[in-house]
Structure 1
């Protein structure tokens, strides 16, 4: 079984766990209660992209999951999609990338990259400095 497949299975299993199971751990219960509702597919895509950028070590499944959980605690899903899209295509050249270089897009990119750098730092992912 490949590492990517194991990561997908681990995330799928984590999404099936009820928040009630974490009741003994106040930190996890509080984080779950305050997080915005992100679809599992969105979380898995983020984690796999994060692992593509930071290495496919199994420990990065947990670090990248931590990062998306921190982002979800602060940002509604629709805003996450918008900001991460602007961030992803900010360096797209030519006419096709023009809409990703307007002031609004630049502001959204800056917000997302700052939030992501904060999440990376908090979760121990090594590229936090590279995001600035």
Structure 2
């Protein structure tokens, strides 16, 4: 009985220490604001036809992306894509940065998975 009382706090402490270290998945956070999801769906529908079916597919698509990619990484990738279109030295930096390329590649992989699942 005495051993059990000593073990519980140790187990609880280990759970707290190991929890964050094990990695938090994007799907656990559900951190995409409604406005970001809506913006994605509107853009997706423009590209895929403005039909009831495209609403379903595009909504599914952003939901899949949100389970794969944390919102902060999504914003980074969207910013890079937007800024890389600027014709200046600033735009060139966004096009050539390894971190920028990595963020965009993460988004592209998430979009590819969403394409497979939803379309």
Query: The TM-score by the shorter chain falls in which range?
Result: 0.5 to 0.7
Higher relative contact order (CA 8 A, sep 6+): 2
How many Å separate the matches in 2 of 1:43 and 1:34?
A: 17
Asked whether 1:47 is paired with 2:41, we answer: yes
Does the CA-based 8 Å contact 2:73-2:103 persist in structure 1?
no
Task: Pick from 102, 110, 118 the counterpart of residue 107 of structure 1.
Answer: 102
Larger Rg: 2
How many Å separate the matches in 2 of 1:55 and 1:100?
A: 30
Shift of 1:86: 1.7
How many Å separate the matches in 2 of 1:89 and 1:118?
A: 25
How many Å separate the matches in 2 of 1:105 and 1:116?
A: 17
Q: What is the aligned length?
A: 92
Does the CA-based 8 Å contact 1:51-1:60 persist in structure 2?
yes
Shift of 1:56: 1.2
Q: Give 5+ residue unaligned stretches, structure 2.
A: 1-26
Please report the RMSD computed on the Cα atoms of aligned residues, expressed in angstroms.
1.9
Does the CA-based 8 Å contact 2:80-2:100 persist in structure 1?
yes
How many Å separate the matches in 2 of 1:98 and 1:63?
A: 34
Does the CA-based 8 Å contact 2:45-2:54 persist in structure 1?
yes
TM-score (norm 1): 0.61
Shift of 1:47: 0.4
How many Å separate the matches in 2 of 1:110 and 1:38?
A: 19
